[in-house]
Amino acid sequence: MFAVAAELARRVRRYTWPTAAGRRNREFLRDRLVALPLLAVVGFGAFGWAYADVRGDSAYLRDRLAPALVGLADARASLFIAQGEAVRILRAGQAVRIGELSERYRTRVARATQSLNQVARSGALTVAEEQELRVVSALVVDFTGDIGQAQQADDAVLRKARLASARTILCSRPVRAEHRRERYPPCPAQTGSSATAIVDRVAGLERQLRERLADRAGWGDGVLTAAAVSGLALALFTVGLWRTLVFLRRRFRIRLSVPLAAGALPLLAVPLLAADALLAQHAQRQTLPVARALAEETSPRVETVAEDYPFRAPLPRGIEVLADRFDDVLADGRLALLDGTAPFVFPVGLAGAGLVGGALHVYRREYLVVTRPGAAV
């Protein structure tokens, strides 16, 4: 067993750590013809896959998960603002005919519906989550229906009952006595079988999307493995290519092999691409607190202030501010000049491997042709 392992290690070292010392020209060229293209294919293949995965995660966060999280937060806040407006007007005992609720109420209901539709179109939800979102949309219809019935009721008791029913659809927890005078009473989400209200279901969707965000933002085992394999393979390819150039200069008097030098050009892009991948992954981790703030720290009170005073300084926990921060973090977390290059990493590396293999094949064939019988080979 030890002898087999030693022989295997010797062969691996022979193919991955090229040296011309004590080697015949024909044998060295044959080994390089196999080892260098193989190392290039493995190295650039693994690196291209890992780089495309990191870049793909950033695009997924930017184009799907971030809009979905922003849409859910905006829908939740808009419904609370609409409910607060309805309670403020209808409980005041004012004579409100159909369609005469405040402009803010109508705008916020329409905005909540639009936000839910945008979440459905974001592409971030699974089939089960899309079904849950459809349930939320149906509950919004029931919520506005109860508000409409409260609006038409002439009796104050019936009006109060309909408003309470609308509140139950929106939030499964009753309003505590100490919060009854507040415009937007607290509504912590529930979980489990009692999570039936709009807020509960929206919070559940936000929780699932944040878990998916955390998975995407972390280094996956596949990416780490591919990075390690590509790093080792490309390092050996670089050393092997350099020693092959030295071999050609010493044995064949070729000062510089242009095809081999051209085949090494893709290596120059590897540090830049690696830096871009690290930058993108760091930006992905920075989106985690932004997503948590969207789900847990936004409030209808903050949104109302931002709406009433549009020219004041932006509020740090405003939904629009957090949405812009999401975009800024992901935009800063990449080198823009490398956009769209991920699909070409492996093909370019493959072309370089083919160029190196073709050049070594030509050198070996010419060497065999010019070698005379009895000459040192």
Torsion angle defined by CA atoms of residues 315, 320, 326 and 331, in that order, rounded to the nearest 10 degrees: -110
pLDDT of residue 179: 65
Q: What is the distance between the alpha carbons of residues 237 and 219, in angstroms, rounded to a whole number?
A: 25
Amino acid letter, residue 115: S
pLDDT of residue 98: 42
Q: What is the distance between the alpha carbons of residues 238 and 234, in angstroms, rounded to a whole number?
A: 6
pLDDT of residue 197: 93
pLDDT of residue 30: 74
State pLDDT tens for residues 235-259.
999 988 888 888 777 766 677 788 8
What angle is formed at CA 70 by the lines to CA 221 and CA 297, rounded to 5 degrees? 90
Q: What is the distance between the alpha carbons of residues 162 and 139, in angstroms, rounded to a whole number?
A: 15
State the maximum Cα–Cα separation within the chain, in Å, rounded to a whole number: 116
Q: What is the distance between the alpha carbons of residues 72 and 78, in angstroms, rounded to a whole number?
A: 10
Please name the residues in contact with 304: beta carbons below 8 A apart, sequence gap of 6 or more.
81
Query: Are 13 and 31 within 8 A, CB to CB?
Result: no
Q: What is the distance between the alpha carbons of residues 312 and 331, in angstroms, rounded to a whole number?
A: 26
What are phi and psi for residue 103, nearest 5 degrees?
-60, -35
pLDDT of residue 369: 46
Query: Are 255 and 99 within 8 A, CB to CB?
Result: no
Amino acid letter, residue 77: A
pLDDT of residue 182: 78
State pLDDT tens for residues 38-59.
999 999 999 999 999 999 999 9
Residue 140's nearest CA partner among 208, 198, 90 is 198
Please name the residues in contact with 78: beta carbons below 8 A apart, sequence gap of 6 or more.
108, 109, 111, 112, 115, 303
pLDDT of residue 78: 95
pLDDT of residue 124: 94
Which stretches of the chain drop beneath a pLDDT of 50?
A: 18, 20, 95, 98-99, 369-370, 372, 375-377
pLDDT of residue 25: 67
